[in-house]
Amino acid sequence: MGSKSSRKTAFEPDQDWVRARKKLLKQVKDEVGRRLGVESDDLREYRLCYEKEFRRRWRVSNKAELVAAIASTDIVYGGDFHASGQAQRTHLRILRDIPSTRPVILALECFPRTAQKWLDRYVDGEISLEELKLRSRWARNWGFPWEHYFPLFELAKARKFRLLALNESPRSVHHASLQVRDQNAAVCLRNCCQRNLGSLVYVIFGDLHLAESHLPQRVREGFAKSERMRQLIIHLNSERIYFQLAVKGLEHQVDVVRLAPDRFCVMNSPPWVQWQSYLFYLERTNDHDRDLEGESPENEGEFDPTDQVAALIRLVARDFGVNLKINNLAVYSADDSRVWRSLERNLKSQDSKIARSWLAAGRSFYLPSTGTAYLARASVNHAAALAGQYVHAELSRRRRTLWRMPGDFSALIWIEATAYFISKLINHHRRAETLTDLKASLAISNPGDFGREAMKLAMDRVMSELIRIRQGRRRESRVRPRQKSSYFEAARVLGGMMGERLYMAYRSRKLTKREIIDLLMCDVSHRGFERDYEKILLNLSRFPVSGTTRSRRERL
């Protein structure tokens, strides 16, 4: 089974790359399995039924076709991978594109039916978002990251959607079989549809439940033939389809496929990224449970960010055939009380202040002088970027932090670029800001907005670099930031844009592995790096990426 498409691709398949990613996926899933225990016979049968859905033939589709299909639908089933924020953002983007004139009911697995009154009161403006979280007992009844879900609730309130709770009560959810949970949710959905003819019912439920014979069939069975309800299923990130795309070199370009007239699959996250997100969630949850029970943080099996980052470093080292020793690496998570003591011990006062502000702002960073890294968020992108910073520091033999502005500005941009590039090897669906995004940010921001100075500096730098590339002359910076933090934020944005270009050049075979390694080995600490940076700019300018890099507003 596979795609009917003969679409040409800018990327050539790399079988070693595919094999390495399949191995990574298996390792992460095995690790999750060890934490969850043996799969029950009931769950195994349920899962196998779901996996059959993706053995059918499919064709390449797009967001426009998906949104058009929703327009003629009564019930949309949107798949959810609970621990992955990308899953919830996918549905947020789709819901934003639904015409404001159409009534929408957002039906959610993440709330038990006992919380319905609190959903109603939130939408009616009687309680706040924080009160909704507390009153519905989110941490106890659902527990997956609140920050991933609450933008959906905010959108519902702003667009006057109704919210519908679909899950079992807290006491019964662990005892109800998957089939019973489907049946009970189906009863709620049928009643909702019958009472709200003409409305779109948009369901967000675990993707495993959305096999044709699971929840959708249970809902369909309850309607008479005269009450035919049009249903549409949106799956997320099928592993089988992902690797079928990967062997054709299409995984970078295709973000929607169509399985049937009433069934799509959105492909916007590599499968190992989803499962790594789940592993992060399980390990953080287990740590929290141990803390509540008063056990020692040194217990075996606790969340160890060093292991997670080290595994990604090894993957990158295998990709490029380089030998990297990682015995000296120590990664601290932001909620580890030892972080602050470590910063005080390893950094001078001014650098410690910068590091503290970065952690507070949710930025991860690596200190090559001590082999110490700080993971601000337990996410795949943050862990992958740390792996990238470590790989670059080791290959370039960099030992100092490049935080002296404006002298280190170009060097810091390049460090951000290489870290972003390496993180793309792990999660190629990660997207940097584009020039369009940068212009949009400046257009909508006010003079007093936080970050405007950094955006102005980044835009000024882009203009200077374009003049250097196209006209061969240097242009002095016209922006002199008052805040040192503006340099760091601008370097992050510019580094992401440069890293995107570097990645596209590499994956389309315009840059070889050897050339990439040579770039990573470039010494950013020496005084002559500014000349090296200009050479890198000129080299990368040969590789246009306008056809493969889209603005954030265009992504699904």
DSSP E strand boundaries for 9-114: 59-60, 75-80, 104-112
Q: How far apart are CA 527 and CA 237, in angstroms?
A: 46
Would you call 263 helix, strand, or coil by DSSP? strand
Contact of 266 with 234, CB cutoff 8 Å: yes
| Residue 4: per-residue pLDDT | 46
- What would the two tokens of residue 239 be? 């592993």
> What residue numbers bound the domain in which 57 lies?
39-268
Please indicate, yes or no, whether residues 355 and 264 belong to a single structural domain of this protein: no
Please indicate, yes or no, whether residues 187 and 334 belong to a single structural domain of this protein: no
| Residue 428: per-residue pLDDT | 86
| Residue 448: per-residue pLDDT | 60
Please indicate, yes or no, whether residues 104 and 165 belong to a single structural domain of this protein: yes
Dihedral angle at the C-alpha atoms of 355, 358, 359, 365, nearest 10 degrees?
Answer: -70
- Choose the final residue of a domain: 381, 401, 421: 401
Let me know if residue 281 belongs to a domain: no
Let me know if residue 34 belongs to a domain: no
How does DSSP assign 250-298, residue by residue?
-TTT--EEEEETTEEEE--S-HHHHHHHHHHHHHHHHHHHHHHTT--TT
pLDDT-flagged residues of the chain (< 70): 1-14, 170-175, 225-227, 286-303, 441-450, 544-556
For the domain that residue 147 is a member of, what is the CATH number? 3.40.50.11550
Q: Which is nearest to 540 in space by CA: 423, 389, 417?
A: 417
Q: How far apart are CA 456 and CA 483, in angstroms?
A: 12
DSSP E strand boundaries for 262-379: 263-266, 330-333, 365-367, 372-375
Residue type, 222: G
Q: Which is nearest to 274 in space by CA: 90, 139, 138?
A: 90
362: left (phi over 0), alpha (psi -120 to 50) or beta: left
Cα 151 to chain center, whole Å?
15
The alpha carbon dihedral of 289, 295, 297, 301 has a sign of: negative
Residue type, 227: E
- Choose the final residue of a domain: 375, 401, 427: 401
- Element containing residue 149 per DSSP (H, E): helix 146-159
Please indicate, yes or no, whether residues 440 and 379 belong to a single structural domain of this protein: no
- What would the two tokens of residue 8 be? 């040409």
Q: Which pTM does this prediction carry?
A: 0.83
> Greatest CA separation found in the chain?
78
- What would the two tokens of residue 511 be? 């840059």
Please indicate, yes or no, whether residues 90 and 217 belong to a single structural domain of this protein: yes
In the chain, how many domains are there?
3
Please indicate, yes or no, whether residues 152 and 255 belong to a single structural domain of this protein: yes
How does DSSP assign 376-428, residue by residue?
SS-SHHHHHHHHHHHHHHHHHT--S----TTTTHHHHHHHHHHHHHHHHHH-T
Q: How far apart are CA 432 and CA 223, in angstroms?
A: 46
Tokens 């030892």 belong to residue: 338
Q: How far apart are CA 73 and CA 78, in angstroms?
A: 13
Let me know if residue 182 belongs to a domain: yes
List, in order, residues 6 or more apart from 458 with CB less than 8 Å away: 438, 489, 490, 493, 494
Beta-bridge mates of residue 112: 167
Please indicate, yes or no, whether residues 384 and 447 belong to a single structural domain of this protein: no
- What would the two tokens of residue 214 be? 């699971």
| Residue 293: per-residue pLDDT | 36
Let me know if residue 4 belongs to a domain: no
Would you call 294 helix, strand, or coil by DSSP? coil
- What would the two tokens of residue 349 be? 């006062």
Contact of 494 with 433, CB cutoff 8 Å: no
Please indicate, yes or no, whether residues 415 and 556 belong to a single structural domain of this protein: yes
- What would the two tokens of residue 437 be? 């995004």
Q: How far apart are CA 284 and CA 173, in angstroms?
A: 22
Q: Which is nearest to 167 in space by CA: 155, 147, 151, 149?
A: 149
Please indicate, yes or no, whether residues 433 and 550 belong to a single structural domain of this protein: yes
| Residue 328: per-residue pLDDT | 83
Q: Which is nearest to 124 in space by CA: 161, 98, 92, 149?
A: 161
Let me know if residue 287 belongs to a domain: no
Find out whether the peptide bond into 305 is cis, omega within 30 degrees of 0: no
Please indicate, yes or no, whether residues 428 and 551 belong to a single structural domain of this protein: yes
Given the DSSP bridges, would you call strands 365-367 and 372-375 parallel, antiparallel or unpaired?
A: antiparallel
Degrees to nearest 5, angle at CA 506 with 502 and 511: 100
Cα 357 to chain center, whole Å?
23
pLDDT digits over 221-259, tens only? 878 766 678 999 999 999 999 999 988 888 888 999 999
Let me know if residue 27 belongs to a domain: no
Angstrom distances, CA of residue 371 to CA of 315, 374, 391, 393 = 19, 10, 11, 10
Q: Which is nearest to 113 in space by CA: 189, 201, 196, 200?
A: 189
Please indicate, yes or no, whether residues 223 and 352 belong to a single structural domain of this protein: no
Q: Which is nearest to 285 in space by CA: 35, 29, 26, 33?
A: 35
Let me know if residue 279 belongs to a domain: no
Tokens 């059959």 belong to residue: 52
Residue type, 243: F
Q: How far apart are CA 103 and CA 374, in angstroms?
A: 45
Let me know if residue 5 belongs to a domain: no
| Residue 450: per-residue pLDDT | 59
- Choose the final residue of a domain: 370, 401, 432: 401
How does DSSP assign 184-241, residue by residue?
HHHHHHHHHHHHSTT-EEEEEEEGGGGSTTTHHHHHHHTS-GGG---EEEEEE--HHH
Please indicate, yes or no, whether residues 246 and 377 belong to a single structural domain of this protein: no
